[in-house]
Structure 1
Amino acid sequence: MSRRPRVKLEQPIAYYHVMNRTAQQEMYLDDVHVPGFKQVMLDIFQEAVSVFYVNILAWVIMDNHYHLCVEVQKPPKDPEDLKLRFERLQEINVNKRRWQPELVNACYKRFTDLSEFMKSVNFRTAIAFNKARETSGHLWGARYNSKVIEEETGLLKVMCYIEHNPVKAGLCKKPSTYPWCSAGRLKLRLARGGAVNFPAFDFLRRVTGKSRARNYLKFVDELADRLHGSPFDPDLDIESCELPIAEAELEEWRQQFASRAPENWSNQAFGSEAFQNQIALLEQTKAQKITKVRQEAVKRRRFDPGDQTQQKS
């Protein structure tokens, strides 16, 4: 059976939820197999972001899997910027290459491709894991899962869903207290007075700078308490977070999180029904094109008189 075609949007900015599990879902990412490996993974994520046109908006590393919410950009082609990214890649590559102007198109195609980003991350984490253990073999199981996210209806939900993973696993009561998720690292950076460049999404545009980050943290923590902590408290004032979510929406969030809708990989979209139908149509069209190409290739082999594999001995 052929692999399911992966839907990737050809537009200036697209958002995805991606997840990858370890082989046999073993707890390879804990501190027993390789002490400090979660930090190694985080460093690899950050290095990949410096090369690819990808921003990680939310992330969590658990003991046997990780989640990322990413923004994939397709900006205008800039040869100088591509050269800089290529040179960053050579700094971490074993086999070094020199920049050539004719590499512009190939680098642009690679650096704006989600699959290439994930391939780089998973390859480098596997190499680091095996090197630390002086062994060989697979770190990751099946190919990574992905969903296209509709910004208006799904982005904030997916980010919160990712942040809530350690809460649901019983590792903490608030995402901001777990050191291996974006909320925990964001809180630590704010506490240290570090620079924070939190993205100005539509639901955060009315506040600026560190206020956006603080409001996001407060919202994520309060929502975790509402959805996974104590029984539903209608008196809890969610408006104090300065994030626009209507009271009537909370039950929908609760149901979607309980059913794990953001990581229901049977479909490749998360958002409104219309958006899901749009992505399903794209997937169907892509599958039909792949099938047609394969059928034509079979016909060419079957009727090519020069194809020795088709001639009887």
Structure 2
Amino acid sequence: MSRRPRIKLEKPIAHYHVMTRTAQQEFYLGDDYVPGFKQVMLDIFQDVASVFYVDILAWVIMDNHYHLCLEVQKPPKDAEDLRRRFERLQEINVGKRRWQPNLADACYKRFTDLSEFMKSVNYRTAIAFNGARGTKGHLWGARYKSKIVEDENGLLKVMCYIEHNPVTAGLCRTSSAYPWCSAGYLKRGLARGEAIDFPAIDFLKNQPRKRRARNYIELVDELALRLQGLPSDPEIGIKSYALPISDAELEAWRKEFASKAPEDWSHQAFGSEAFQREIALQEQTKMQKVTKVRREAVKRRRCESDDQGAKNKHM
């Protein structure tokens, strides 16, 4: 059976929700296997993102899978920027290749590709895991799953869904209490007095730059409580601004989160029905092209085999 074609948008900026599970869904990412491996994974996420034209908007690392919400960019080609990214890649790889101008096109194609980013992340994490344990074999199971996010409203919803994973698993009451998600990571950074430039998405566009990260944490924590049917926590400080979601929207979110709609991997789009149909049509069209190419290749090989058989017969 043909492998399902991956749909990626050819746009200056596209957003994706991706997820990868461990082989056999074992709890390989927990401390029982490799103590501190989640930090190793986070370092790899950040290293690879520094090479690719990818921003990680939200993430969570559980014991047997991880989620990322990614912004994949296709900016105008800049040879100097590509050179810096190539040299950063050599630094990470401890490589010795030198930059050549004729590498620009290949580097741009690779550094703006979602699949190449995920391939690099999963390869490096697998190498690190096996190296720490002195083992060989697969860390990850099937291919990574991905969904294209239609707009910023859907983007915020996906980010909150990702942050909500440890709450759903019963590991914590609020997202920021879990250390291995972006909300918890941001909260620790703010506690250390770090300046965090959080992306200006959705309602955060109207917030002061220095308040965006804090307001995002407050949002996901307040949502975590409300989605559990728990009262607001005065310590969260949500009253510093109006919660940008109505009660009706919150109820819709609750239903979507309960049904795991943001990670319904049966289709590759998250958004309106029209958007889902559009992406499904792209997938169908791409699958038809792939099938046609494969059939032609099989037909060509059969003809070549028949020709060779005829030649052998007359020899």
TM bucket (normalised to shorter chain) is: over 0.9
Question: For residue 266 of structure 2, what is the amino acid of its counterpart?
Answer: S
Q: Deviations over 1:104-124 (max 9, x none)?
A: 110000000000000000000
Q: Which residue of 2 aligns with 1:39?
A: 39
Match of 1:56 in 2: 56
Is 1:101 the counterpart of 2:101? The answer is yes
Moved more, 61-70 or 195-204: 195-204
**Match for residue 78 of structure 1?**
78
Is the 2:156–2:202 contact (alpha carbons within 8 Å) kept by the matching residues of 1?
no
CA drift at 1:100: 1.1
Length-normalised TM-score, structure 1: 0.94
State the distance in 2 between where 1:128 and 1:238 align. 39
Hey, what does 1:282 align to over in structure 2? 282
* TM-fit CA distance, 1:125: 0.4
Provide the residue aligned with 1:24 in structure 2.
Answer: 24
For residues 305 and 27 of structure 2, what CA distance do their matches in structure 1 show?
54
Spell out, residue by residue over 1:133-176, the C-alpha distance to the aligned partner (whole angstroms, 9 max, x if none). 01111100111000000123310110000001011111110111
Confirm or deny: 8 A CA contact 2:37 2:129 kept in the other structure.
yes
Q: Counterparts of 1:60-139 in structure 2 under 5 Å?
A: 60-139=60-139
Residue 75 of structure 1 aligns to a residue whose secondary structure is coil
Aligned to 1:212: 212
Classify the secondary structure of the residue corresponding to 2:127: helix
| Distance in 2 between residues matched to 1:307 and 1:74, nearest whole Å | 47
**What's the counterpart of residue 183 of structure 1?**
183
Letter in 1 for 2:247: E
Please give the alpha-carbon distance, in whole angstroms, between the structure 1 residues aligned to 2:132 and 2:121.
Answer: 16
Equivalences, count: 310
- Look up the match of 2:163: 163
Query: What is the distance in 1 between the residues matched to 2:214 and 2:206?
Result: 13
Identity %: 74
1:216-255 superposed matches below 5 A = 216-230=216-230, 241-255=241-255
Q: Measure the CA separation in 2 of the matches of 1:310 and 1:180.
A: 65
Q: Which amino acid aligns with 1:118?
A: M
| Closer, same or farther: CA 97–307 of 1 in aligned 2, 3 Å | farther
CA positional deviation for 1:281: 1.0
Q: 1:241 to 1:158 in 2, by over 3 A?
A: farther
- Contact 2:56 / 2:69 at 8 angstroms: preserved in 1? yes
**TM-score, structure 2 length as denominator?**
0.93
The answer on whether the counterparts of 1:57 and 1:159 sit within 8 Å (CA) in structure 2 is yes
Residue 294 (structure 1) aligns with = 294
Instruction: Name the counterpart of 2:266.
Output: 266
**2:11, 2:74 within 8 Å by CA — same for their partners in 1?**
yes
- Residue 224 of structure 1, CA deviation: 0.4
Cα pair distance change 1:227/1:292, threshold 3 Å: same
Q: Is the 1:150–1:270 Cα contact (8 Å) retained in structure 2?
A: yes
Shift of 1:131: 0.5
* Superposition deviation, residue 210 in structure 1: 2.3
Q: Where does residue 8 of structure 1 map in the other structure? A: 8
Q: Which residue identity lines up with residue 269 of structure 2 in the other structure?
A: A
Further displaced range: 200-209 or 56-65: 200-209
Aligned to 1:153, the other structure's residue is in SS state: helix
Q: Does the 8 Å CA contact 1:163/1:183 hold for their aligned counterparts?
A: yes
Mean CA deviation greater in 33-42 or 287-296:
287-296
| Letter of the structure 1 residue corresponding to residue 155 of structure 2 | L
Question: Helix, strand or coil: the match of 2:244?
Answer: coil
Supply the AA of the counterpart residue of 2:182: S
- Secondary structure of the 1:76 match is coil
Identify if the C-alpha distance between structure 1 residues 304 and 249 changes in structure 2 by more than 3 Å, giving closer, same or farther: same
Corresponding residue number in structure 1 for 2:192 = 192
Q: Which amino acid aligns with 2:19?
A: M
* Amino acid across the alignment from 2:294: R
Which deviates further from its counterpart, 99-108 or 144-153? 144-153
User: Residue 168 of structure 2 aligns to which amino acid in structure 1?
Assistant: K
- What SS does the corresponding residue of 1:60 show, helix, strand or coil? strand
Deviation by residue 1:46-98 (Cα, 9 ceiling, x = unmatched): 00011000000000000000000000000000111011101111112255322
Could you list the runs of 5+ residues in structure 1 that have no partner in the other structure? none
